[in-house]
Chain A
Amino acid sequence: AQRVTQPEKLLSVFKGAPVELKCNYSYSGSPELFWYVQYSRQRLQLLLRHISRESIKGFTADLNKGETSFHLKKPFAQEEDSAMYYCAPTPGGSEKLVFGKGMKLTVNP
């Protein structure tokens, strides 16, 4: 079955600590992978997409096809990174945007 898994629901770290938000998917073919973020009382918005291979707000995400993972990483977390993060793999050829269950990141001062 096609599925996306974010195994951890909560992650709490101190400012300056590294963070890794995990995402695994089980879609066949070549899905396009995204990370979305929702800051407190704000709309969901795109954080980054794997085809861009860019770093946004210090976050990067590497697609590992062998492990079918797309983990989101940041070497030094900041308080303003506190938010809900959703992994969203989109199956190839599909317009269906499916999201993982989300993970709440809290960065403490």
Chain B
Amino acid sequence: DTAVSQTPKYLVTQMGNDKSIKCEQNLGHDTMYWYKQDSKKFLKIMFSYNNKELIINETVPNRFSPKSPDKAHLNLHINSLELGDSAVYFCASSQGREAFFGQGTRLTVV
């Protein structure tokens, strides 16, 4: 059973489009995250939700909007995609300090 799953795994889209990445965890964790891994493999936190409430919102453009319909899901919607948004996006969940990650979504904006 996959603990944290993201869809899609790959996403290629044109500049200006709006796209969403979905994340689901079946671990019963209260906290979920979105991270961005850039081309240099630098991992940066974007958002964190605890029990459907936003608790961390790093300096991320307003074009990025997370949505948590319930504590098992944290989706990431991106408006007006730009070339610089190309990266691998990881969803994660945690209960306490240990994080469990999804397999990542490789977003390529052309």
Interface pair A97/B94, CB less than 8 Å apart = yes
Interface residue? B66 (CB, 8 A): no
Interface pair A45/B41, CB less than 8 Å apart = no
Chain-A contact segment, one of B17-25, B67-75, B77-85, B96-104: B96-104
| B: contact size bracket | 20 to 34
Report B74 CB to chain A, min CB distance, Å: 14
- Contacts A96-B48, A99-B43 hold; do A34 and B55 have CB atoms under 8 A apart? no
Chain A contact surface mostly: strand
Name which of B4, B33, B41, B102 has the most chain A CB atoms within 10 A of its CB: B41
Neighbouring A residues of B44 by C-beta, 8 Å: 99
Neighbouring A residues of B99 by C-beta, 8 Å: 36, 44, 46, 88, 97
Report B103 CB to chain A, min CB distance, Å: 5
Interface residue? A90 (CB, 8 A): yes
- Contacts A43-B103, A43-B104 hold; do A34 and B94 have CB atoms under 8 A apart? no
Interface residue? B7 (CB, 8 A): no
**A42 to B101 Cα, complex, angstroms:** 10
Chain A 26-45 per-residue mask, 1 if CB under 8 angstroms from chain B, else 0? 00000010101010001111
Neighbouring B residues of A98 by C-beta, 8 Å: 45
Interface pair A97/B101, CB less than 8 Å apart = no
Instruction: Tell me the nearest residue of chain B to A96, going by C-beta.
Output: B56
Interface pair A102/B92, CB less than 8 Å apart = no
Of all A-B residue pairs in the complex, the 4 with the closest CB atoms, nearest first, are: A44-B101, A99-B43, A43-B103, A43-B101
